[in-house]
Amino acid sequence: MHSFHPLGDSAIIVHFDGDSSSEIHGKIVSLASMLQGSELDGFLEAVPSYTTLTIHYNPLLIGKDDPYEYVCRQVDLLIKKLPAHTDLAGRQVDIPVCYGGDFGPDLDYVASYHNLSVQEVIAIHMEPIYPVYFLGFSPGFPYLGGLLPKLETPRKETPRKTIPKGSVGIAGRQTGIYPLGSPGGWQIIGQTPLRLFSINQDSPALLQPGDNIRFYPISRQQFMDWGKEDGN
C-alpha cells in the first residue's frame, strides 16, 4: 500500500505502509533507482527515508495543467512495475571500529546501563547486519536499522559540544556513525577511521541506501595506522 502527499508545490512524498520494514525499504530503494533511470518530465531527485520516498520536481518543466497529478500518475505506474518481493542486492560494507577508550567515551556507561561487560556490548554491537535505510542529517550520515533491543540506550542528557568524525554511537533504538565532527547527544562507543564522505571521490558517500553494514573491531594501533599505506 502506498499514498501520495504534496510537499509544497515542487515535491511529493510517496508513503509506503506495510508490516515488514525490510519490504518497505526494498520498495523505496527500488523505486528511487527506477526514477533515476526514467525520463519523467521535470524530475529532479528522489530522497528515501524509513517509510517514504520524497520526489522533487520542477513544475515549470511539466507542461501539464496539474503537475502534481501528473507526477503522481507517472510514479504510480512505476510502483505497479515493482516486483512483489524486492530482494535488495545491496553491497555488504565492513566498517572497522576501535571500541572504547578515547574513541568510545560512553562505552563504559552503555555497559553499566545494561549490566553487561564492555566485551559483551562490543560483541552484541558487532553481531547484526545493519541495513542502511537512507542517508540524511549531514553528508553521508547513515540511518541504520538492526540495533538489537538489548543495546537500546537513551541519548545523553547533555549533548557533547563536539563529537569527532567517524564516531560510532547509540541513541535510543538507533546506531549510527558521524561523518563530520558535530555536536550531538549520542552515546559514543567507538570510532571508525573510514571517511564516510569525501568531495574528492567519484562516489562521495561511502554508503548508499540499500547497503548492509557490519562492524568489526580494530585496535588503537590499527586505527592510528589506518590509511597510511594508501595515503588517505
Partner 1 sequence: MGIKVLKSGLHSTIQDIGRIGLQALGVGVSGAMDVYAMRMANILVGNNEKEAVMEITWIGPVLEFEQDGVISLFGAEMSPTINRETIQMGCPILVRKGDVLRLGVSKKGCRCYLAIRGGFDVSSVFGSKSTYSLGEFGGFKGRALQEGDTIYWNEVSLMKNLSSNWRLSPKLNHYQNNNVIRFVAGKQYSWFTENSQNVFASQLYTVTLDSNRTGYRLCGEQSLKVENDKELLTEGTVFGTIQIPQNGQPIVLMADRQPTGGYPKIGEVITVDLRVLAQKKPKDMIYFQPVSLKEAHQQLILLEKEIKLVKKIVNQKLEVES
For partner 1, the binding residues (CB under 8 A) are 5-11, 13, 15, 32, 44-54, 56, 59-60, 66-68, 134-141, 143, 179-180, 197, 199, 204-205, 209
Residues 6 or more apart whose Cβ sits within 8 Å of residue 73: none
Residue 111: helix, strand or coil by DSSP? helix
List phi, psi (to 5°) of 109: -60, -45
> Are the CB atoms for 82 and 30 separated by under 8 Å?
yes
In the bound state with partner 1, the residue whose beta carbon lies nearer, of 89 and 199, is 199
CA distance 71 to 67: 6
Question: At closest approach, how far in Å is the CB of 192 from partner 1?
Answer: 17
The stretches of 138-203 forming alpha helices (DSSP H) are: none
Question: At closest approach, how far in Å is the CB of 140 from partner 1?
Answer: 6
Question: At closest approach, how far in Å is the CB of 116 from partner 1?
Answer: 28
Question: At closest approach, how far in Å is the CB of 63 from partner 1?
Answer: 10
CA distance 162 to 183: 4
DSSP letter assigned to residue 169: E
In the bound state with partner 1, the residue whose beta carbon lies nearer, of 79 and 116, is 79
Closest C-alpha to 162, from 139, 190, 185: 185
The maximal CA–CA distance of the chain, rounded, in angstroms, is 63
CA distance 91 to 208: 9
In the bound state with partner 1, the residue whose beta carbon lies nearer, of 23 and 120, is 23
Question: At closest approach, how far in Å is the CB of 31 from partner 1?
Answer: 12
In the bound state with partner 1, the residue whose beta carbon lies nearer, of 72 and 121, is 72
In the bound state with partner 1, the residue whose beta carbon lies nearer, of 7 and 224, is 7
Give the number of other CB atoms < 10 A from CB of residue 84: 6
In the bound state with partner 1, the residue whose beta carbon lies nearer, of 139 and 217, is 139
Question: At closest approach, how far in Å is the CB of 139 from partner 1?
Answer: 5
